[in-house]
Every structure is written in structure tokens, then in C-alpha cells.
Amino acid sequence: MKTVSLTVDGVGIKASAGETLLWAALDNGLYIPNLCAIRGTTEPWAGCRLCFVEIEGRDRPVTACTEPVVDGMVVNTRGASALRLARTALELILANHDLDCAHCARNGTCELQRIAKHLGVKLNTQRFGRKVRGLPVDSSSPVFTYDPNKCVMCGRCVWVCRDKLGIGVLGFAQRGFDRVVTTFEGKPIADTNCKGCGDCAEVCPVGSLVLRDEERAKAVYGRHKLGAGARESSGGKIGAAGRKSNGG
């Protein structure tokens, strides 16, 4: 496959032609914030709107997860316009996120914490006010717990359950502010055909789906420690974090 050369924040990298800019950067250890990126999907989900970057010659920022690399591309992940869009997207996510970091199993390995630090946004930002829904926590599964109040609607759990495993226990329901990841008819996890594999909890970037087994959780979440490399943190399958790029 043809290889192209491009520059991201002053760093020269190489990537396979046709690869998206997000994965090209992450595979070269350069961090671009993301929550919903999944390698190998036919179409990028592009739902989190956190991966905005600026490309030389373009008049507006683009999402890195949808932009294919081309030879000679010059990318700035820290441009004012791109940062403004990404920060706004993050603040909207935080506005209805249950910020109980001190008691969260993912404290220190949470992707929201990493993104907030990278973008310079306070987790307790009040720009858009706060409205946490107060939905019930599903603790019925012996393998994991599900707290919808911490869900960031990234779709990773839906993808792994429905598209990768072909089970389809989890899916999206409702619209707008009421949108939620849930089971058919809102049944408890234990009352569905969930196989108890726990893969949904492994790909969750935050503390919404959390593994009960402490040893397994330690092994899985340890790969997501803040500062972990792109390939290490998720095996090159789910959007991850690379080293911090220049200018940040």
C-alpha cells in the first residue's frame, strides 16, 4: 500500500494512503482528543466532535476522524478555531455528565479527564450550566455495572456488542437530551441475552460501564492510564491517546 508523508504540529509522520488523519496521528504517538473513534468501521461515527483540527489551505476546521490523509498535508491540532470547537463540544458533554471523579472507578484512567487537561477545560465548567439526569444505575449484571449518568454517547459499547459480537443487547434510544444507551424496552442487563463477556466495559472510555472483577479491571484500565501511548492504550482498535503534540 502506498505511503504518504504529512506534518502534524511540526512533526513529520508517515501513514498509509487512505488512512484517516486521526488514526495516522495516534499511530505515530500524536494525541488528538477523541471519544468515539473505532478503527475499521465502514463510516466514522464522528459523534463526539472533539477531534477538530486545522489543515493548511482549508478555510475551516475538519474532524480528524473523517479526513483522509494526503501526501504533503500540513495539520495544526492547536489552532484557535479548532480548539474553540473542541472545547465547546467537551463543555457540552460535561454539562450533563455526573462528575463524581473522586468515587469513580475510572478516576485517573478516564478519557474525559485526559481530554479536559489537553484542551485546558475545567471538569466542573459552568459555561452551559449543569443538568444531570439522575437515571438509575443498572447493577444487575455479575460482570459489570452500568451508570447511564456517566455515559458520553460515544457508541463504543453499542458497536462492540452489536457490530463486533453480533449480540445487540445495547443500543441507542430516544433523542436529544433524553438520548440514552439502553437495552430493549429498558430491561435490566441481567434480563437480556447478554453473554457476560464484559467487552462493552472494556471499550468504555469513562466510568459508565465498569468491570466488577478487580484484577481484570486493573489490567484493562491500566492500559488507559493518562499518558499511555496510542497503541498500548487500546490495542489499535478503539480511539486512544498518543503523546502530547507540540504547541500544547
Confirm if 201 and 211 have CB atoms less than 8 A apart.
yes
172 residue type, one letter: F
Handedness of CA 59, 62, 64, 66 (dihedral sign): negative
41 residue type, one letter: T
85 residue type, one letter: L
Determine phi and psi for 108, rounding to 5 degrees: 95, -15
CA distance 157 to 36: 10
Residue range(s) occupied by CATH 3.10.20.740 in the chain: 3-87
How big is the CA angle at 146 (ends 23 and 106), to the nearest 5 degrees? 55
Residue range(s) occupied by CATH 3.30.70.20 in the chain: 95-227
**CATH, domain range 3-87:** 3.10.20.740
pTM for this model (two decimals): 0.87
- The neighbouring-strand residues paired with 76 are 54
**CATH, domain range 95-227:** 3.30.70.20
CA separation, residue 49 to residues 32, 53, 182, 214 (Å) = 11, 11, 22, 32
In tens digits, the chain (248 residues) has pLDDT values of: 799 999 999 999 999 999 999 999 999 999 999 999 998 787 888 899 999 999 999 999 999 999 999 999 999 999 999 999 999 999 999 999 999 999 999 999 999 999 999 999 999 888 888 888 899 999 999 999 999 999 999 999 999 999 999 999 999 999 988 999 999 999 999 999 999 999 999 999 999 999 999 999 989 988 766 543 343 233 334 555 455 544 44
Terminal Cα-to-Cα distance of the chain (whole angstroms): 33
Strand stretches in the chain, DSSP E:
3-8, 11-16, 52-55, 62-63, 74-76, 144-146, 171-173, 180-182, 209-211
Q: What sections of the chain are H helices per DSSP?
A: 21-27, 80-95, 111-119, 156-158, 199-203, 214-222, 230-234
Query: What's the pLDDT score for residue 131?
Result: 85
